């Protein structure tokens, strides 16, 4: 009887518990909402929405309701799926799709994701890892938000946009997601565990440690004589000490920083400051330091040089380093700073982080709620495809965009620009695009989009000559900036479309006598339409081909603090600038893309922009890495920058080959300086030939191949060779552009994408795959004539130039003469190439050469279309599949699929077999082993 009563009580308790639990959640057609017991700083409601079998949207709010605002990043047509089922237990709910399980604990709202076998892919930190800190912005209530996830020791992280500190694998590191001249923020990361996270927030965010750096005196500082209280600061004019004092802070950071105005002018122009001493702390552990600087900066810790940088004074940047301090242990420090005329410097510090640095943490300045999308895939390509499923496909760029771009800052008149193109044609150096940088307008008329007719007397005729006589295309610089007093400014201002703070502050820019100016607000969709209308009237109507959308951080005024930048772009039409800080570039590109597609529907949009944001790929926008400097260290950094940018889901990236800003020592080049300048540009050019976009740009000295080095020099010959090699490989290159649209492909591929089984590649940031076949290994050390190259395991490799075979899974000491960069071709590859051409559409790929790298099965699909319009969206394109079977030693050229206007009905195909016992290098005049005629029908060729 007692047992029966006990069982009844237990059953009743379980029933009541289930009733209590069931009342805490609401089932939706596409997911569930769980209501939690409110805890200070925590989530009150958590929502899981099934987007597809592989994508789950997680939202968490500190209040009873969720925002109904449409995401700027995620496509409005992305809605929830009903193809899932719900499993309920006493403590959790699990949403089950065909490929994953998303579980939420009812007590804490903690979310975890597993595969169908129960293997954990990602899980939030115990308790949910969500935090909300109330803040007020312009009298509006909001929250600083944070989400923390667990991360196993062997996990690696990539993406997050393009950053400039040479970071590759972000595991255990910190990344500031703040738009900057040389930083592109894309809040999407890819994990080596084959998932992606899209952090749907537009404000300044942080990956890793969310704390803000503090003044240097948060460690104990000692002079070089050992006295506590600061470092010894010696102020030099030329080689003599002008003043020596003790300083516990180094804060010459921004225009509005008081110390900047008080800095000695003679030290700034022809002197330096040396801080020297030591530091310690009672807090043992890893201490973090930050150096923000322009001019020449060197830092030594314990007599070891750890920072040696130069940066232009209108674009300072940050370098970070860590020091492991034992409690009370002193470390020596020396900082040498040459301002190089009006420089900036700040040195800051953070105490040891008390949380687990290895966990995955994302925090944002402002958010009404936490929003992230979990995207599962079998590999990186599937994950990136999932990202583009919800944020938009990357349209195919015009074919000419995949050719060579020549640019400089700047061509001062029409004749200079046309003469450069004519010189390329005269020398038979391939070129597709010439770029007209800023100041083609009269000085006071920035934002007018009007040519200065004294220097550009016939803009329409200039464009016509480029198109019809020189077979080149023109990209022109268009800023979102408007000088006060221009008609476009007045038109924008009349409708309330401008940010007014910079005008109210009466700040003047640095051009000519200085002019008051500001930027327009693209978050107002009508302002975006007007911006395009003004471009269309004055530039698009003249036949200009592409838009260089500069300064889209937005850089309304240089060298001001981030806090002042927030104010400068506030309020936007959608809300406070701080809330939308990182998304300016996205909205600016949107207005131009949608405007051109309406005005010129038969002309592919091409946009080059200095900033990027998640979803921007859908607007035909490529990104370059900003105003980097002409130094070997910056060159090296661009490799990891490009790789991680590409792993962020946007396929088109480039940089200023040779670096943009130049030290004065390069102005008048002689002797060793001349040698270094030529070598730096040659090595950088070699790398640039294998980037998604191939673009040379920079300040004086001029960047044309023939201006960098004269004909007959190894540098000139090498640059011409790599330019011609890019065009030789154009069937391969343009097919990658086609795949980027139809298959959501990534052109510039971190080694993690293709060799995930080889954990040795996880942190390699100076090698990558260009498409499926080519392993690129830039040489970024001055005077180097060899470099170590890791050949990933699971496959063999052929030297591109000689055909020599190497086994994978080893590091080789690759030869790298000045005129060659090591490039290897993956065993089991088919690389199509074309005839010699001077521009991409000069003639079709006939004959087509197929380099077949044997030893493993291989495949490649050739993509072709009408090159410049959007007819491919209506199915007007063709594909030809190539497959090689190693067992039967046969190459099959499959049946052509599709058709388009101007398609080749038949062509000659030259086949070059590359084998371990038949070493053949790539050649512009390759002697084929076999030749066949192809008319669109399947044919098979035997490897003899």
Residues with a catalytic annotation lie at: 550, 553, 627
Q: What would the two tokens of residue 655 be? A: 């940089």
- The CA radius of gyration of the chain, in Å to the nearest whole number, is 29
Instruction: Work out the number of other CB atoms within 10 angstroms of the CB of residue 617.
Output: 27
Going from the C-alpha of 134 to that of each of 9, 41, 137, the distances in angstroms are: 44, 8, 10
Q: Is the peptide bond before 518 cis (omega within 30 degrees of 0)?
A: no
Instruction: Say which residues have a Cβ less than 8 Å from residue 452's Cβ, sequence separation at least 6.
Output: 440, 441, 442
Distance (Å, rounded) from C-alpha 806 to C-alpha 795?
A: 9
* DSSP state string for 840-883: TTSS---SEEEEEE-SS-EEEEEEE--SSSSGGGGTBEEEEEEE
User: CA–CA separation, 390 vs 374, rounded Å?
Assistant: 11
Token look-up 């105003």 returns 627
Residues 6+ apart with CB under 8 A from 929: 911, 912, 913, 944
Q: Residue 479, Cα to own-chain centre: how many angstroms?
A: 20
d(CA 12, CA 776): 68
Strand partners, 148: 361
Q: Are 73 and 586 in contact (CB under 8 A)?
A: yes
Cα separation, 136 vs 145, whole angstroms:
13
Backbone angles phi, psi at 206, to 5 degrees: -135, 135
Neighbours of 424 (CB within 10 A): 24
Measured CA to CA, the distance from residue 604 to residue 584 in angstroms comes to 23
In 3D space, the residue among 557, 538, 559 whose CA is nearest the CA of residue 547 turns out to be 538
Listing DSSP states for 56-79 in one string gives EEEEEESSSS---PPPSSS-TT--
Alpha-carbon 392 to chain mean position: 17
For 83: left if phi > 0, alpha if psi spans -120 to 50, otherwise beta; the answer is: beta
Evaluate whether 101 touches 95 at the Cβ level (below 8 Å).
Answer: yes
Of the candidates 477, 395, 393, the residue with the CA atom closest to the CA atom of residue 438:
477
For residue 189, give the 3-state DSSP assignment: strand
Residue linked to tokens 């139809």: 742
306 by Cβ neighbours in 10 Å (0-12 / 13-18 / 19+) ranks as middle
3-state secondary structure of 643: helix
Which residue has tokens 């010894």?
232
Q: Cα(547)–Cα(609) distance, rounded to whole angstroms? A: 8
Q: Residue 310 pairs with which residues in a beta bridge?
A: 296
Q: Which residues are CB-neighbours of 10 under 8 A, at least 6 positions away?
A: none
The 10 Å CB-count burial string (b at 16+, else e) for 562-572 is: eebbbbbbbbb
Give the separation between CA 278 and CA 829, rounded to whole angstroms: 56
Contact criterion met (CB below 8 Å) for 677 and 669: yes
**CA proximity to 80, closest of 294, 513, 373:** 373
């Amino acid at each position: 009887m007692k047992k029966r009563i006990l069982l009844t009580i237990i059953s009743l308790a379980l029933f009541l518990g289930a009733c209590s639990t069931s009342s805490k959640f609401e089932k939706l057609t596409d997911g569930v909402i769980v209501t939690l017991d409110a805890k200070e700083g925590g989530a009150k409601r958590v929502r899981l929405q099934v987007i597809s079998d592989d994508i789950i949207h997680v939202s968490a709010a500190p209040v009873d309701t969720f925002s109904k605002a449409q995401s700027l990043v995620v496509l409005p047509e992305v809605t929830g799926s009903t193809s899932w089922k719900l499993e309920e237990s006493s403590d959790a709910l699990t949403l089950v799709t065909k490929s994953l399980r998303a579980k939420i604990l009812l007590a804490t709202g903690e979310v975890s994701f597993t595969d169908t076998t129960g293997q954990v892919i990602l899980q939030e930190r115990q308790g949910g890892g969500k935090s909300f800190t109330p803040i007020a912005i312009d009298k509006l209530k909001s929250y600083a938000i944070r989400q923390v996830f667990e991360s196993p020791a062997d996990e690696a992280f990539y993406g997050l946009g393009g950053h400039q500190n040479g970071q590759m694998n972000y595991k255990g590191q910190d990344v500031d997601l703040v738009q900057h001249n040389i930083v592109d923020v894309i809040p999407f990361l890819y994990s080596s565990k084959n998932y992606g996270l899209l952090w749907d927030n537009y404000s300044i965010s942080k990956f890793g440690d969310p704390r803000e750096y503090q003044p240097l005196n948060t460690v104990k500082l000692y002079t070089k004589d050992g006295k506590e209280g600061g470092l010894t600061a010696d102020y030099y004019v030329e080689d003599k000490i002008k003043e020596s004092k003790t300083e516990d802070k180094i804060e010459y950071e921004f225009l509005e920083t008081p110390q900047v105005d008080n800095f000695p002018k003679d030290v700034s122009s022809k002197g330096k400051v040396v801080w020297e001493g030591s530091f310690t702390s009672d807090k043992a552990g890893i201490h973090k330091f930050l150096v923000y600087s322009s001019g020449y900066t060197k830092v030594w810790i314990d007599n070891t040089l750890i920072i040696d940088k130069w940066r232009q004074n209108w674009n300072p940047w940050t370098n970070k380093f860590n020091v492991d301090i034992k409690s009370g242990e002193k470390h020596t420090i020396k900082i040498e700073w040459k301002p190089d005329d009006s420089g900036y410097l700040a040195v800051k510090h953070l105490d040891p982080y008390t949380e687990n640095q290895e966990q995955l943490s994302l925090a944002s300045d402002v958010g009404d709620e936490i929003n992230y999308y979990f995207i599962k895939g079998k590999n990186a390509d599937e994950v990136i495809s999932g990202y583009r499923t919800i944020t938009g496909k990357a349209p195919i760029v015009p074919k000419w965009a995949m050719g060579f771009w020549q640019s400089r800052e700047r061509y001062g008149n029409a004749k200079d620009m046309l003469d450069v193109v004519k010189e390329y044609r005269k020398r038979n150096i391939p070129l597709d695009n010439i770029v007209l940088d800023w100041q083609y307008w009269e000085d006071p008329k920035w934002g007018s989009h009007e040519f200065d007719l004294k220097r550009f007397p016939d803009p329409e005729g200039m464009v016509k000559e480029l198109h019809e006589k020189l077979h080149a295309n023109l990209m022109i610089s268009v800023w979102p900036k408007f000088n006060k007093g221009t008609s476009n400014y007045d038109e924008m201002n009349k409708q309330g479309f401008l940010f007014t703070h910079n005008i109210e502050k009466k700040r003047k820019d640095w051009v000519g006598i200085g002019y008051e100016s500001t930027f327009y607000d693209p978050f107002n969709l009508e302002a975006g339409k007007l911006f395009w209308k003004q471009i269309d009237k004055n530039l698009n109507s003249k036949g200009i081909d592409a838009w260089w959308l500069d300064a889209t951080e937005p850089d309304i005024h240089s060298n001001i603090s981030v806090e002042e930048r927030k104010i400068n772009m506030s309020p936007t039409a959608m809300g406070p600038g701080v809330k939308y800080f990182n998304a300016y570039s996205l909205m600016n590109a949107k207005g131009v893309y949608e405007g051109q597609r309406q005005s010129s529907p038969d002309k592919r949009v091409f946009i080059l922009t200095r900033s990027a944001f998640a979803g921007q790929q859908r607007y035909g926008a490529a990104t370059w890495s900003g105003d980097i400097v002409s130094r070997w260290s910056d060159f090296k950094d661009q490799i990891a920058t490009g790789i991680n940018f590409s792993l962020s889901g946007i396929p088109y990236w480039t940089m200023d080959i040779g670096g943009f800003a130049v030290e004065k020592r390069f102005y008048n080049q002689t002797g060793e300086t001349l040698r270094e300048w030529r070598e730096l540009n040659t090595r950088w050019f070699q790398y640039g030939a294998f980037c998604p976009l191939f673009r040379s740009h920079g300040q004086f000295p001029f960047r044309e191949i023939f201006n960098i080095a004269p004909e007959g020099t190894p540098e000139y010959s090498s640059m011409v060779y790599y330019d011609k090699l890019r065009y030789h490989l154009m069937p391969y290159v343009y097919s990658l552009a086609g795949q980027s649209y139809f298959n959501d492909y990534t052109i510039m591929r971190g080694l993690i994408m293709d060799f995930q089984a080889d954990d040795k590649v996880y942190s390699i940031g100076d090698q990558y795959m260009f498409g499926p076949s080519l392993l690129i290994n830039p040489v970024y050390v001055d005077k180097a004539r060899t470099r170590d190259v890791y050949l990933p395991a699971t496959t063999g490799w052929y030297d591109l130039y000689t055909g020599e075979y190497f086994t994978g899974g080893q590091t080789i000491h690759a030869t790298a003469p000045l005129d060659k960069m090591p490039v290897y071709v993956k065993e089991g590859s088919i690389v199509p190439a074309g005839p010699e051409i001077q521009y991409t559409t000069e003639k079709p790929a006939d004959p087509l050469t197929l380099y077949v790298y044997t030893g493993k099965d291989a495949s490649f699909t050739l993509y072709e279309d009408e090159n410049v319009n959007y007819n491919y969206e209506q199915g007007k394109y063709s594909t030809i599949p190539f497959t090689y079977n190693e067992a039967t030693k046969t190459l099959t050229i499959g049946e052509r699929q599709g058709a388009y206007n101007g398609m080749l009905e038949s062509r000659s195909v030259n086949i070059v077999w590359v084998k371990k016992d038949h070493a053949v290098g790539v050649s512009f005049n390759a002697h084929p082993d076999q030749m066949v005629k192809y008319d669109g029908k399947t044919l098979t060729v035997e490897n003899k």
